[in-house]
Amino acid sequence: MQPAKPAPTRFRSGRHFLQIPGPTNVPDRVLRAMDRPTIDHRGPDFARLAGEIFEGLRPVFGTEGPVIVFPSSGTGAWEAAIVNTLAPGDRVLMFETGQFATLWKRVAERLGLVVDFVPGDWRHGVDPGAVEARLAADRGGQGKAQGKAEIKAVMVVHNETSTGVTSRIPQIRQAIDRAHHGALLMVDTISSLGSIEYHHAAWGADVTIGCSQKGFMLPPGLGMNAVSDKALAAARQGGMPRSYWDWEDMLKNNASGFFPYTPATNLLYGLREALTMLHEEGLANVFARHARLAEATRCAVRAWGLEILCAEPAEYSNVLTAVMMPAGHDAEVFRAATLSRFDMSLGVGLGRLAGKVFRIGHLGDLNDLTLVGALAGVEMGLTIAGVPHRPGGTQEAMKFLCDGV
Amino acid sequence: MQPAKPAPTRFRSGRHFLQIPGPTNVPDRVLRAMDRPTIDHRGPDFARLAGEIFEGLRPVFGTEGPVIVFPSSGTGAWEAAIVNTLAPGDRVLMFETGQFATLWKRVAERLGLVVDFVPGDWRHGVDPGAVEARLAADRGGQGKAQGKAEIKAVMVVHNETSTGVTSRIPQIRQAIDRAHHGALLMVDTISSLGSIEYHHAAWGADVTIGCSQKGFMLPPGLGMNAVSDKALAAARQGGMPRSYWDWEDMLKNNASGFFPYTPATNLLYGLREALTMLHEEGLANVFARHARLAEATRCAVRAWGLEILCAEPAEYSNVLTAVMMPAGHDAEVFRAATLSRFDMSLGVGLGRLAGKVFRIGHLGDLNDLTLVGALAGVEMGLTIAGVPHRPGGTQEAMKFLCDGV
Amino acid sequence: MQPAKPAPTRFRSGRHFLQIPGPTNVPDRVLRAMDRPTIDHRGPDFARLAGEIFEGLRPVFGTEGPVIVFPSSGTGAWEAAIVNTLAPGDRVLMFETGQFATLWKRVAERLGLVVDFVPGDWRHGVDPGAVEARLAADRGGQGKAQGKAEIKAVMVVHNETSTGVTSRIPQIRQAIDRAHHGALLMVDTISSLGSIEYHHAAWGADVTIGCSQKGFMLPPGLGMNAVSDKALAAARQGGMPRSYWDWEDMLKNNASGFFPYTPATNLLYGLREALTMLHEEGLANVFARHARLAEATRCAVRAWGLEILCAEPAEYSNVLTAVMMPAGHDAEVFRAATLSRFDMSLGVGLGRLAGKVFRIGHLGDLNDLTLVGALAGVEMGLTIAGVPHRPGGTQEAMKFLCDGV
Amino acid sequence: MQPAKPAPTRFRSGRHFLQIPGPTNVPDRVLRAMDRPTIDHRGPDFARLAGEIFEGLRPVFGTEGPVIVFPSSGTGAWEAAIVNTLAPGDRVLMFETGQFATLWKRVAERLGLVVDFVPGDWRHGVDPGAVEARLAADRGGQGKAQGKAEIKAVMVVHNETSTGVTSRIPQIRQAIDRAHHGALLMVDTISSLGSIEYHHAAWGADVTIGCSQKGFMLPPGLGMNAVSDKALAAARQGGMPRSYWDWEDMLKNNASGFFPYTPATNLLYGLREALTMLHEEGLANVFARHARLAEATRCAVRAWGLEILCAEPAEYSNVLTAVMMPAGHDAEVFRAATLSRFDMSLGVGLGRLAGKVFRIGHLGDLNDLTLVGALAGVEMGLTIAGVPHRPGGTQEAMKFLCDGV
């Protein structure tokens, strides 16, 4: 079986299937909303725009407090969370749930934090028991001043985009509470927000990190921080030398609908439209839709006889599914075949998973038939790339979608 | 089994599946090309635009002669063909291949022509033998002046959009030639042009009727006539009183890149881009793609145990497939379920086929995965609407698409 | 003085000034509304679209009766008015107010009408006195059967786009009434509708002809007819052989939100948005804005010492101003200089005015500063083309715009 | 004189005049280029996009070395320049040329640098003599180790967006050279790049800071650094703790057409189109156009009898003109009147100039007639706001534009 030869870009017909776990498909409504002249970011029309966005963002994060929007990638929002609240030398607790947790840890270390990085197998989420144990051990341990906690923050990735594993934030919160530990809880919701349930305030997060190109159905270019009073207090008393990422400057200007420096105006047009769409559908409906499409995907994977990377059903991601390749088969050969033959982009295996998994994104602006088309593309791709599997996964997904809801 | 309840329009997520046999999916490139300020249609930029369009249209029609573009629907292009070449009372030969042939006949009659309408069962194309017999009988028959032919035109629909049957134009041409008859040959290629093979000049057509919203992948609003020298001569010597549809006015103005009245400028922007896309892919590749997607569709229909309306495999349409509903089942109930539950539009049964067939469009800007998604939508729609069928058609189509090419 | 050398198209910077009297500037909102996938014109979403359009159109025409929308240019809507109500050989009364009246007359003649064409100097509108006189003479005149009126329709152009003269429809209506004549009143409002006051019903018009690319701020491609009960009755009893333009087919289908043949769906998207914009601004405000911009333009022309073509101030058009070139100067040389040097399109002199006038369009989506920019372009164009004039017209227009509300 | 009453946003007709010195008018070509689905930023199409952008950017910066593009505002690119090359406690030389120089100084200080901030009157550019004197004094001064230079960087703003003053970079370079000083030269070209002449390499800059929303005619959201080998060496040996802004990560990934984190893909689509436009027009032509439009603006200001803020003609900015209000008149009242009455945004007076100046942006995608419209808006705004001035400035600008070229 030889791989299909790619069709040159310009000969492709029809719509590309973008089934990576972000950037996601940008709805036409959002693209059209951005396709407008840039306005004066110091004028009254802009202030109205900003006000509507802040209003619409809060329920998506699940907070009545401030949400800060940076012209940046999500990586920038990671950095913002750190430089506002922590100082070089501060100790933080992180968990190796996958590539993005590992990258965030790298950011933390580059900025001078000392990271307790709890190892993981990239198939499970954060273990709440481990959180509790680590925090409990943080007081009065060997060589430590009696009762003086060293860990300043617990930093977890809600939905690991590299593995398709969703950590259980409420349980983690409870673990921190059980340990009676005052660490800040920082949560990366980059790929979960607006797709699966999340509550910044009710779940007791101190900083929630988001971005534009996943559940918000926008192009990349906006990073976000929702912040608790506790996080704001930490920022006021400390943090690192900072300018671009400074929360206080932002909040002062945001109060009247402006920004301390030029914001990414046209992406904000798109954000307003995307928020309108999310609220029109209703967040509960959005989450139910993602749950349904995700389960259909898992039906297909099981029927193919392939293994889902996520080892714990309670932690299955409704945003993406990472699928393990049978031994001896390179995920990259398969992905290339699928791209060239069926014009579909699947997610690459990242970091230590390179070549070993492929990821099916099923988030954002997506419906049943597009998902089935994508699953068919996977199934046909497995066939033409000669990857051993049982046919019929697409059919199983269809069966689920007919029975469901 | 109760029908699915429709999701309100504003809650729909993802992309609508427009699987009717036209209007077809308008590619983003084409939509974006039209999303531009309208220019002065008497200025030099416009003349350049028009020149490029006439240049690009000719190979798609398969002619080196003129192609005339009206701001109209395809129905208008039908009317233009008639009023330029025929006079009230003229006799023409038409064939009841389906709803569109019937409608064209109605246009002809309303404009005063006498139509010999050869009856048909809506499951076959035009019979070349019948063409020959009718034309042969047109000379020296009973009560006619010796050798004086009465039939002025043979008017056929190349691809019957209501039935999914493609008439064999070259054989019809040969039939006319065998009868040594001088009638004009007028061909409606509204739903075939740019999707399946057609050659205005080589196949000896005198007037070829096209429009924008099928193979040209544009919104509706442009009607077209390719005309032979013989048709032009007929127009010069006769036709009906006419103004809007007059070819001569058009050709005189078109010669310098202009129009006798305001053209549909932004649709012409789109047409230029669509022609660029067709020529980039290459017409032969476009036709092969349609053949492949059509056969995949037929694989699915056969596997479902449903009947294809077209009774003659040599006349299968590569543009759409009309599928017969099992007795006792209303196609409209099925179509409504498919629309409300899966956000897919299928073609309605037209005229005498109302309620008895549904039509799957597989033309225009379309690729494998979108087609499979559409076929899955049909299969799931059959299930939720309780229409008896064998599951597995989608799987069969996938099998064909893997083996094919 | 040598003419400016044109900048190649691709080197132009900034926005083209489209100051022709239509097509007009299409607002971004309208372009973006059209930049969407075409939908099934037989589905429920389409019916909603059509319903909203018919609802929004009626107040713009000033009628509670039907408005019919064709996929055609305005010329097609001329033809539709004729073929539905009049028969070959019918006599109609028309007035030579300019090029478009002359072209409409040509359409009428080509379709077999007998036109009484009252000559004019292209500087005045229709003379209501002449209407009355002609109609009064239409009964019991020499060689006519006692009391038998021959004139079936009075056909006038409301705003002559070639001359910038607006005929006084209410006075014409009164003239018909004074003559107690039953002729249909047909009014071409192609360039007036949505820009200057018009009332189909209150002014007693029987057929009002409109199109998309002027006051509706759309690209070309839609022709319209508002029709009175009297016109509908005439259509039911007679008219010419017709199919495409048939009102009855249209109205029957429109009743449920559909069309007898494929409508120009994406232009209809734009029409809905344009109607929303007109009603947001309020028609009275729209008319006042046009009146103000038109008077500013005339201030400029007077200050330049040039002559306005329209000889009667009560007939000045608020849509465009035609300006007479000083003797010995070719308007085309001037227009070419203005286009090449300042990237502005001005209207050409049409028909017998070729080379003798240029026309400044000031209609549609236009504001004070764009108008001043356009007037400055005219003034600078006069300078670089060596056309004798007094400088300062732009300054005068600015003065008026400051004084005026 | 009472201020004009603002028209509610939704009633505005025509195109807004955005005459602030950035964000500038985004050409339709660029908006349309961004109005496309986001692609996989790890796929082959993206790598092609990135390659074309890096290729096109270099000549605009005037370098054959790397240009780094961040998803950020220009402020972020300031920060990036600092954190890659300088350490906390490092001394740098900056000049108070206006608000943006002051803001950049604030960024530097917040990041821990020690800034020698040479005071200025906000009406002049950087004095090359002062640069030389300061650098010469930096060796062997009182209390310093013999010959040990302390100043690590000279940081200047090329075009002060708050004042309309352009500093003379080549002379500053020569001053550094005359002082035989090894400080890095960092130049903020945020509002100059792509509008007025600049040569990163030939003028000996080490870091050049740019962004998307000025001469690049894009919406905001991209920050840029062009870097010299010397700057890269400094980065490799030091700088501050950093992650998001790290050059090395960027360059490593950029080498194959990718980015270390998700780039602002759709803005990059726009950047590619904007670069195409700049190179089509030719940079020399772009610069000449800006020079011409700027001089026309200054003609108007002089004719009005108002004072240009920039006190040194050799430093006039071709990007914007800041105009001083007559004593006793508030620029904000004037700007509000101009916005509400003429729908034009002018630049606000920033920092110590608040209320005292307004700024006319004349950069980016702009042509003669739009500029004249804008100048007319200023002149009429002065009138309706009761600001003393001589009428006729617009007329003077028109005169210049006719004579020019």
Residues of A in contact with C35 (CB under 8 A): 32, 35
Identify the pLDDT of residue D385: 97
CB A380 to CB B366 under 8 A? no
pTM, rounded to two decimals:
0.95
Tally C-beta pairs within 8 A across A and B: 117
ipTM associated with this complex:
0.95
> How many CB atoms sit inside 10 A of residue D291's CB?
16
Q: Taking a contact as any Cβ pair under 8 Å apart, which residues of chain B between 340 and 359 contact chain C?
A: 345, 348
- Whether residue B11 is predicted with pLDDT greater than 60 in this model: the reply is no
3-class secondary structure for chain C?
CCCCCCCCHHHCCCCCEEECCCCCCCCHHHHHHHCCCCCCCCCHHHHHHHHHHHHHHHHHHCCCCCEEEEECCHHHHHHHHHHHHCCCCCEEEEECCCHHHHHHHHHHHHCCCEEEEECCCCCCCCCHHHHHHHHHCCCCCCCCCCCCCCEEEEEEECEECCCCEECCHHHHHHHHHHCCCCCEEEEECCCCCCCCCCCCCCCCCCEEEEECCCCCCCCCCEEEEEECHHHHHHHHHCCCCCCCCCHHHHHHHHCCCCCCCCCCHHHHHHHHHHHHHHHHHCHHHHHHHHHHHHHHHHHHHHHHCCEECCCCHHHECCCEEEEECCCCCCHHHHHHHHHHHHCEEEECCCHHHCCCEEEEECCCCCCHHHHHHHHHHHHHHHHHCCCCCCCCHHHHHHHHHHHCC
Q: Identify which of A14, A395, A401 has the shortest CB distance to residue B370.
A: A14
Of D302, C54, D40, the closest CA to residue A346 belongs to D40
Report the alpha-carbon angle D170-D173-D174, nearest 5: 90
Chains in contact with B, counting 3 or more C-beta pairs less than 8 Å apart as contact: A, C, D
Residues of A in contact with C32 (CB under 8 A): 32, 35-36
DSSP annotation of D316: B
Identify the pLDDT of residue C255: 97
Cα–Cα distance for residue pair C217/C219, rounded to 1 Å: 7
CB C372 to CB D373 under 8 A? yes
Compare all CA atoms of chain C with the CA of B29 and give the residue at the minimum distance: C35
Residues of A in contact with C37 (CB under 8 A): 28
Q: In sequence order, what E strands does D268-347 have?
A: 307-308, 320-324, 344-346
Identify the pLDDT of residue D19: 97
> How many CB atoms sit inside 10 A of residue B394's CB?
28
Q: Taking a contact as any Cβ pair under 8 Å apart, which residues of chain D between 1 and 30 contact chain B?
A: 28
Residues of A in contact with B377 (CB under 8 A): 368-369, 372
Q: What is the mean pLDDT of residues A120-134?
A: 98
Element (H, E) at B349: none
User: How near does any CA of chain B get to the CA of D14, in Å?
Assistant: 13
* Per-residue confidence in pLDDT tens, chain C, 405 aa: 333 333 444 358 999 999 999 999 999 999 999 999 999 999 999 999 999 999 999 999 999 999 999 999 999 999 999 999 999 999 999 999 999 999 999 999 999 999 999 999 999 999 999 999 999 999 755 545 556 789 999 999 999 999 999 999 999 999 999 999 999 999 999 999 999 999 999 999 999 999 999 999 999 999 999 999 999 999 999 999 999 999 999 999 999 999 999 999 999 999 999 999 999 999 999 999 999 999 999 999 999 999 999 999 999 999 999 999 999 999 999 999 999 999 999 999 999 999 999 999 999 999 999 999 999 999 999 999 999 999 999 999 999 999 865
Report the alpha-carbon angle A384-A385-A388, nearest 5: 100
- Whether residue A381 is predicted with pLDDT greater than 50 in this model: the reply is yes
- Whether residue B322 is predicted with pLDDT greater than 80 in this model: the reply is yes
User: How near does any CA of chain C get to the CA of D253, in Å?
Assistant: 34
Q: Taking a contact as any Cβ pair under 8 Å apart, which residues of chain A between 234 and 263 contact chain D?
A: 240-244, 246, 260-263
Report yes or no: A93 and A116 within 8 Å, Cβ to Cβ: yes
Kindly state whether D285 is in contact with chain C, defined as any CB-CB distance less than 8 angstroms.
Answer: yes
Residues of A in contact with B393 (CB under 8 A): none
Which is it for the CA torsion D107, D113, D114, D115, positive or negative? negative
Compare all CA atoms of chain B with the CA of C220 and give the residue at the minimum distance: B264
Q: Identify which of C35, C394, C402 has the shortest CB distance to residue D383.
A: C402
- Binning pLDDT at 50, 70 and 90, where does residue A85 land? very high
Amino acid at D258: F
Q: Which one of A209, A262, A320 makes the best mutation probe of the D interface by having the most chain D beta carbons within 10 Å?
A: A262
Report yes or no: C190 and C100 within 8 Å, Cβ to Cβ: yes
- Whether residue A402 is predicted with pLDDT greater than 70 in this model: the reply is yes
Could you list the mean pLDDT of each consecutive 10-residue stretch along chain D, which spans 405 residues?
37 90 96 96 96 98 98 98 98 98 98 98 98 90 62 98 98 97 98 98 98 97 98 97 98 98 98 97 97 98 98 98 98 97 97 98 97 98 98 98 78
Identify the pLDDT of residue D146: 55
Q: Identify which of A281, A366, A377 has the shortest CB distance to residue B369.
A: A377
Residues of C in contact with A35 (CB under 8 A): 32, 35
Identify the pLDDT of residue D305: 98
Q: Which one of B35, B38, B266, B269 makes the best mutation probe of the D interface by having the most chain D beta carbons within 10 Å?
A: B35
CB B241 to CB C112 under 8 A? yes
Burial class of B136 by CB neighbour count within 10 A (0 to 12, 13 to 18, 19+): middle
Of B357, D154, B405, D155, the closest CA to residue A342 belongs to B405
Kindly state whether B364 is in contact with chain C, defined as any CB-CB distance less than 8 angstroms.
Answer: no
Residues of B in contact with C20 (CB under 8 A): 40, 42
Kindly state whether A311 is in contact with chain D, defined as any CB-CB distance less than 8 angstroms.
Answer: no
Compare all CA atoms of chain D with the CA of C383 and give the residue at the minimum distance: D402
Kindly state whether D36 is in contact with chain B, defined as any CB-CB distance less than 8 angstroms.
Answer: yes
User: How near does any CA of chain D get to the CA of A260, in Å?
Assistant: 10
| Interval B31-84: pLDDT, tens | 999 999 999 999 999 999 999 999 999 999 999 999 999 999 999 999 999 999
Cα–Cα distance for residue pair B60/B192, rounded to 1 Å: 11
User: How near does any CA of chain D get to the CA of C379, in Å?
Assistant: 9
Residue D106 makes CB contacts below 8 A (sequence gap 6+) with A243
User: Residue A326, preceding bond cis, omega within 30 degrees?
Assistant: no
Cα–Cα distance for residue pair C354/B232, rounded to 1 Å: 31
Identify the pLDDT of residue C11: 53
CB B342 to CB A367 under 8 A? yes
CB D18 to CB A36 under 8 A? no
Kindly state whether C280 is in contact with chain D, defined as any CB-CB distance less than 8 angstroms.
Answer: yes
Residues of C in contact with A365 (CB under 8 A): none
Identify the pLDDT of residue B129: 98
Provide the mean pLDDT of chain B: 95
Compare all CA atoms of chain B with the CA of D37 and give the residue at the minimum distance: B28
Q: Taking a contact as any Cβ pair under 8 Å apart, which residues of chain C between 202 and 231 contact chain B?
A: 211, 213, 219-221
